[in-house]
Structure 1
Amino acid sequence: MSNGAVTWTGNAGTNIFDGGNYSGLADGFTLGPNVTVEDNITFSNATVTIPQVSAQQRFQVASGFTMTVDGSNFSLSGGSNDGIGGAPGSRLPAGPAGPTLNIINGSSLEAFFIVNGVQMNVDGTSSVTLGGAGNPVNISSINLDTGATLSFTRETIAQFNTEHLSKITINGVAAEEGLNFTIAALGAGGSTITAIPEPSAGLLGAIGCILLFLRRRR
């Protein structure tokens, strides 16, 4: 619960679970792992850490709300295996949907996982790294704009194709290797996906440039 839109201030440090780092939280509300923020929340030009806490927990946002990471850097600290998610019971694609997580304007986000109906959208200037093994995109979905990168530090190319390919869209359409994304190995046990323009879009752009060049020569 909050008094309105919640924003990151960083007044108490970098810990994502510390309520002293936010403005707009309701009086008496105690933020912590697996405690739901029932409002839109924005991180602008922020440096944020997701620290190791007891068990495996998450920064939690309620269904129907949006968490925006704008020009910010998120990283795991202290050997953290924690992530970002919605409240239990939310799931994608079946529904009900959880929160929306927008990564924009040159942001870099590292988390161990996303879970419980998160719709993550990564713009073409930003990157996401998920550190978990097994199922770091858990009953959630990811859309990448052209130019965005998505890395898995503990999921090989084969594991990505088996476990996560169906959860990824590129510019809103199904991900298809070689058509709208490329994939490469990351170290010995990871993988990195890069969203690329579809050939038709690139061809239309080239034709447009040629026509403009010819028009200028007349």
Structure 2
Amino acid sequence: MKICRGVCVALCVGVGLGLGAPVVLAQASGAVATVPVLAPVVYVSDFELDAASVTADQNPVANARHLAGSLLPRPFAHHDDPQAHARQIVEQMADTLVADLRKAGVDARRLPAGATLPAQGWLVRGVFLDVDEGNRLRRSMVGVGAGAIEIDLAIAVDDLAKQAPAPLYQVIETHSSESKPGAGAAIALNPYVAAAKFVLARGDQRLSVKRAAGEVSDAVIARVNPAR
């Protein structure tokens, strides 16, 4: 049997927190070469945002306006479906965050809802929050109101290679008779979750979400690659 006497290369791959950390290749010939380690993948999941339950308005003037709007051709009718509005914000946040991370050189990918978590990489999660009169955090709900909405955004960046992600928050109060219609459940954030506040303006929603996504992107990069 013929034996091939080639040069054997020993490759040791270490996964660290930094992006682009070099790996040393030790060759039998004594030469040493370095190649960059592939950057860890950052998976962006859909942030949590609920839609408020919308009940029929008992105001006859408002009902008349709503009926008139439904009779108008679609380009002229005013449609404000809370479910669609909430989904629009979630989609925009995820897409903008992925785009911002990629611009910064991070291998960012959107994680579809319900998908199995990868064994390695980083997971970015978040939840939109409101602060009520009692200074309690509640899961934010998008309704049919007008004007600017002040929203808190809580995020977590988890290293999937270390452990399974823990819950972002714990529910401490469900809906009660004292809660306003459309109010979310009061919650307590877990200690490792970071929170930031931004204003979601109805007339400038895209720009508001873009700015918030930029802040989240900076926080993710600082967590995944502290040396940058």
Query: TM-score range with shorter-chain normalisation?
Result: under 0.3
Structure number with bigger Rg: 2
More helix by share: 2
Query: What is the TM-score with the length of structure 1 in the denominator?
Result: 0.19
More strand by share: 1
Larger RCO, structure (CA 8 Å, separation 6 or more): 2
